[in-house]
Amino acid sequence: MTNTNLLVSSEWLSDHLNDPNLIIIDCRFSLADPALGNKQYQESHIPGAFYLDLNQDLSNPVQKHGGRHPLPDPNQLAQKLATIGVKYQETLIVAYDDSRFAFASRLWWLLTYMGHEKVVILDGGFSEWQKEYPVTNEISTEKLGFFKPQIKLKMVVDIETVKAKKDLPEVVLVDSRDSDRYLGKHEPIDPIAGHISGAVNYPWKQVTDENSQAKVSEQVSRWEQVKNAEDVIVYCGSGVTACVNLWSLKMAGINTGKLYAGSWSDWCSYLVDN
């Protein structure tokens, strides 16, 4: 049965825009132009929305290992969330982007990982919203909230866990990248092409259509082959778009998904060393 509690429509958001216990977070970002998302937010956004940046807020600085988007310090992110008025386990957070959930799902996953499950993604993103509803360039006023994270450590795995578990029959390793990158035909970012041995390919863009609308009716059947696995370890290039697949798994009612946060960029970093 599809879990539709992870998604809201623009119509729903418009009806609840002034709810006192709701906060909207703009997650727009471009890997090719890291400053673009904030620039877009400054120009126009959903009224009342705050902006969180993938590199500055939703990731830690890059190190030798750990991938291109290491997980942020949860206490620093919690402090940031508190300054925009989020009340831990009370506030409903609506996350949106304009990239088929790529960055909104990263925030969704991080909040869930930190124990705050009252978070949904806006179906269709900013583009769908602005077709019918107002936008603004007014920067939202910060409010006082509180956020004391309770980390769900079992939601994330590191490279050693992947090595130990990837060939076990009860574990499924999912590569979320486009098929050409999975097959090693094309690698635009990382130093080595290909995939982790034993991984199966579930491209993240299959979760939505070209208009960033979730393919709600397809989520359960999409994961038919992995629904009985004890663990579904999901990775991508750097732990960002894998979160779209983790959201999709949750949508399908599968709660065994885990993020290999460093993903292929972390895996590659050790291969380059050798």
- Pull the structure tokens for residue 270: 């050790």
Helix axes 104-113, 242-251, angle to 10 degrees: 70
Give me the amino acid identity at 7.
L
- Closest by alpha carbon to 264, among 188, 151, 206? 188
Cα–Cα distance measured from residue 82 to residue 70, given in angstroms and rounded to the nearest whole number? 21
Side-chain-side CA neighbours of 244 within 13 Å: the count stands at 32
Cα–Cα distance measured from residue 130 to residue 252, given in angstroms and rounded to the nearest whole number? 29
Q: How far apart are the first and last CA of the chain?
A: 45
Where does residue 33 rank: exposed (0-12), middle (13-18), buried (19+ CB within 10 A)?
A: exposed
- Pull the structure tokens for residue 267: 């895996």
Clarify whether 243 is annotated catalytic: no
Q: With beta carbons less than 8 A apart as the criterion, state whether 123 and 214 touch.
A: yes
Which residue bears the tokens 């779209």?
244
Cα–Cα distance measured from residue 159 to residue 233, given in angstroms and rounded to the nearest whole number? 11
The residue from 27, 236, 243, 268 that is catalytic is 236
Active site amino acids: 236
